[in-house]
Amino acid sequence: MRASVPASPPRTVVVALSGGVDSATAAGLLVRAGHRVIGVTMRLYDARSTGTARGRCCGPRDVEDARRVAEHLAIPFYVIDLETAFTRTVVDDFVTTYLDGKTPNPCVRCNQHVKFTPLLARARALGADALATGHYARIVDGPDGAPALARAVDADKDQSYFLFSMPAEALASVWFPLGGLTKPEVRAEAAALGLPNAAKPESQEICFVPDGDHAGFVAAAALTRGRALPTAGAIVDGSGAELGRHAGVHRFTIGQHKGLGNLRGLGPDDRRFVTAIDPVAGTVTVGSRTDATTDQVALDEPRWLGPAPADGAVAVQVRHRGPRVPATLERGDRVRLTLSEPVVAAPGQAAVIYDGDRVVGGGWVASSSA
């Protein structure tokens, strides 16, 4: 495979350096191709207040790693403070969504509101022709000849799911140099470029949540925002019979089976999954795996990367690691999807619509398909 780097003419490109190996390799490939590259790192949150001083995307250690990469590549380097925009559009949404008994996707919201809006504006202010990132995705020609978003060649690393909500008008100004490479090829390129973070391990955690404890983060954030924290409530079965107690609905998501505690009346091999969350009543309903799935999905805030598609056959992916499932799209008073097989679709999660490898658009799973 080949890196997705335009060879000529030389362009001025801002690269969003996260401190990780992927964005660093994207910058290195662009430098090697002869482009004028400017490195930019976003400061998104106060790591001292979140306890994330080390080992997280966009934390202090990562800023320094990005600076070292820029020095190695001999490119200009800037740190841009986007904490206010990030807090308002990503962190606050994360907290509110969990308090409402839904499941947020902060990476999608960040791409929608931060990376491809204010960051792209900053890139243009620096005189850049394009903004490049280390995402595993591709820009291709759409059916109408306009730029379109498509899956990366490395199916295991593809990140097009997280990018569906980026502004459609940004597609003409965004480059994804790694879209044609596999992860091992990226590691090899990083070593060949002599990048100082070539062997840096990946971080899969939410950047602003310390130790992966999202419930603890939500609880602390709710207090600082003057929000009432969900109180303890009942875990019930489909008939309403109480099986146990919980410490707050913000600790659960549809399809979850771990962390339910010892439920009464179940054998050692009986597994229960969260099937419904009622933040008002404070109840968490559990049932079988089948009970936690659905083949009917309605979308809130639908977004399209181009003209809205006609009703008919598409493929839908719910959750980053979820499969793409054939579905029938119907647009009316709201967007509805009938899937060929049931999936776990938690309200608040992103549901991304594909036509082949091309991202058509998507939205957020509604609380009800009615």
- Residue the block writes with tokens 């969350």: 277
pLDDT for 261 equals: 84
Q: Give yes or no: residues 313 and 358 share one domain.
A: yes
Q: Give yes or no: residues 171 and 280 share one domain.
A: no
Rounded to whole angstroms, how far apart are CA atoms 35 and 58? 25
Among 268, 291, 314, which residue terminates a domain? 291
- Point out the catalytic residue in the list 57, 58, 107, 207: 207
What is the total count of domains within the chain?
Answer: 3
- Residue numbers of the domain that contains 323: 293-365
Rounded to whole angstroms, how far apart are CA atoms 268 and 96? 35
pLDDT, tens digit (0-9, with 9 covering 90-100), for 58-94 = 566 889 999 999 999 999 999 999 899 999 999 999 9
Residue 98 φ/ψ, nearest 5 degrees: -65, -40
CATH number at residue 180: 3.40.50.620
Q: Give yes or no: residues 72 and 24 share one domain.
A: yes
* 86 found inside a domain: yes
CATH number at residue 258: 2.30.30
pTM passes above 0.85: yes
pLDDT, tens digit (0-9, with 9 covering 90-100), for 195-231 = 999 989 887 678 888 678 888 899 888 888 888 887 8
pLDDT for 221 equals: 87
Residue 57 is a catalytic residue: no
| Helices (runs of H) and strands (runs of E) counted in the chain | 10, 17
Written as one letter, the residue type at 304 is W
* 224 found inside a domain: no
CB-side exposure of 278: number of CA atoms within 13 Å? 13
pLDDT for 213 equals: 87
Residue 207 is a catalytic residue: yes
What is the DSSP secondary-structure string of 59-116?
SHHHHHHHHHHHHHHT--EEEEE-HHHHIIIIIHHHHHHHHTT----HHHHHIIIIIT
- Point out the catalytic residue in the list 57, 58, 107, 110: 110
- pLDDT under 70 in the chain at which residues? 1-4, 6-8, 46-60, 204, 210, 368-370
Q: Give yes or no: residues 41 and 118 share one domain.
A: yes
